[in-house]
Amino acid sequence: MNSGPIPASSSAPGPGTPPGLRAGMLWTVAGQGVYSAAQWLMVIVLARSGGASDVGLYSLGLALTAPLFLLLGLQLRAVQATDAQGHFEFRDYAALRLPSMALGLAVTAVLAWLYPHASGPVWWLGVAKALEGGSDVMYGLMQQRERLDWIAQSTLLRGLLGLALLALIYRLTGDLTLATLGLALAGLATLLLFDLPRGRRLAAGRWWTWPPSSALLRLALPLGVVIGLVSLGTNLPRLFVERQLGREALGIYAALSYVTVAGSVFVVALGTALTTRLSQVFARGDRAGFVRLTLALMAGAGGVGLLLVLLSAVAGAPLLALLYGPAYAEHARTFFWLTLAGVAGYLASSLGFAVTAARRFREQLPLFAVVTAVLVLACWWLIPRYGLLGAAAATLIGTLAQLLGSWLIVRQALSGLSPGESGSPDASGPTSSPDSLPGAS
């Protein structure tokens, strides 16, 4: 199990030359940018053609399925991309991902039964997420080999195809269930036609082992819980809004929230491009280099966030009217508070990449448990009293708690490093065997 990823056989076509860091980041920005724009345009299509009610149902489906599949995805891509010493083979990751996605589909069926008014969108969005999980395990392999261009091309393809199918089906039928079926078809086509063939170029041979690696499960499970809590934190205000203010209010709130996704594209792209480099710098004990890369990531994230806040302050109402219609422009104040939450979220995400690169896996679980508790209390207190503005304020409170906690973890991780020294096993990840990894005991 210590032999690293399965090498390509001599008869398999080679993976080619990976792009450099700058080119990889540009590819990632392009892929994530197009994908996020496509997700945003889906909301605009639903808002313009169907109204806030269907936007609310679509957002409810995402709010229920996204945390579930991120939890069960176990952040295997991040674990694989930072496994610089090759303790696990690709088949270990693939063998763990397949049953976890099957479990996700079973839970999705239960959620569809519990929410009969949204059962169709919930089910097909769950199927789309499961197929995306299949692509994601390929992305981990690609990222480990620094083929960020392939990840970007796949993400771009899935986004554009999903947008085309959803928009076409929805405009022809007006049926949201059929439109979300289009997203599942886009995920299936991308997995079969793009991701699997390129995965084979990087890892030939057997992709399956049974039973799945218990050491990998113990390592990744805390990360899965963490990312599930992160996604739950993003979606908790939406669930509270749907329960307390109704489906149409959720549609409005979700549409306003999607604007901040534009800024997150740059943050995710830069963080994805730097994750492997950050993990390598930390593993060799280069404290100054790690701090420099982390601060650069935070500076870029903060700059994008401040530009978005300025835009919302100067032209929030006209922008919302242009994108969604006059009814949404009435909520410009809520939009401004959401952009403030976006700035805090971008900075917290930047530190989150640093925390993962430092392989501080155990510390993330209590952090996000606390963040989730803070967010629940804020939603419970603010939304009934202040409506959508209260939901935005609760989101800001949650992201500030995440930012503070992430900073404390990074600070603690750096305290064990000094220039020229190797990171400790607990801080920098595996040094001998999978059983010595954080979370594997």
Q: What is the pLDDT of residues 385-424, one digit of tens each?
A: 999 999 999 999 999 999 999 898 888 888 766 554 433 3
Tens of pLDDT along 291-348? Answer: 888 888 888 888 888 888 898 888 888 888 888 878 888 888 899 999 999 989 899 9
Task: Find the range with the poorest average confidence among 52-61, 160-169, 264-273, 414-423.
Answer: 414-423
Query: Taking 60 as the threshold, does the pLDDT of residue 155 lie above it?
Result: yes
Is the N-terminal amide bond of 430 cis, ω within 30° of 0?
Answer: no
Instruction: Lowest mean pLDDT of 114-118, 177-181, 302-306, 362-366, name the range.
Output: 362-366
Residue 19: predicted pLDDT: 63
Instruction: Please give the Cα distance from 158 to 134 (Å, whole number).
Output: 13
Q: φ and ψ at 208, to 5 degrees?
A: -135, 140
Cα gap 112→115, rounded to integer Å? 5
What average pLDDT does the structure give for the chain? 80
Binned at pLDDT 50, 70 and 90, residue 435 comes out as very low
pLDDT score recorded for residue 18:
62
Distance CA 366, CA 185 (A): 37
The residue whose two tokens read 């790690």 is: 290
pLDDT value at position 15? 60
CA distance linking residue 381 with residue 407, whole number of Å = 27
Task: Give the pLDDT mean for 120-146.
Answer: 87
pLDDT at 364: 78
Choice between 22 and 163, residue whose per-residue pLDDT is larger: 163
Q: What percent of the chain has pLDDT over 70?
A: 85
- Closest by Cα among 322, 36, 35, 54 to 169: 54
Task: Place 24 in a pLDDT band, splitting at 50, 70 and 90.
Answer: low
- Three-class SS state of 359: coil
Domain boundaries, the chain: 21-417
pLDDT for 9-18, tens place per residue? Answer: 333 345 666 6
Distance between CA atoms of residues 91 and 425, nearest Å: 24
198-221 confidence digits (pLDDT tens):
877 877 667 767 787 777 888 888
Query: pLDDT value at position 431?
Result: 29
pLDDT digits (tens, 9 = 90+) for 108-124: 999 999 988 888 999 99
Q: How confident is the model at residue 25 (pLDDT cuts 50, 70, 90)?
A: low
Q: What is the percent of the chain with per-residue pLDDT over 90, rounded to a whole number? A: 22
Is the predicted pLDDT of residue 96 greater than 90, yes or no?
no
**Residue 289 predicted with pLDDT over 70:** yes
Chain-centre distance of CA 78, in angstroms?
11
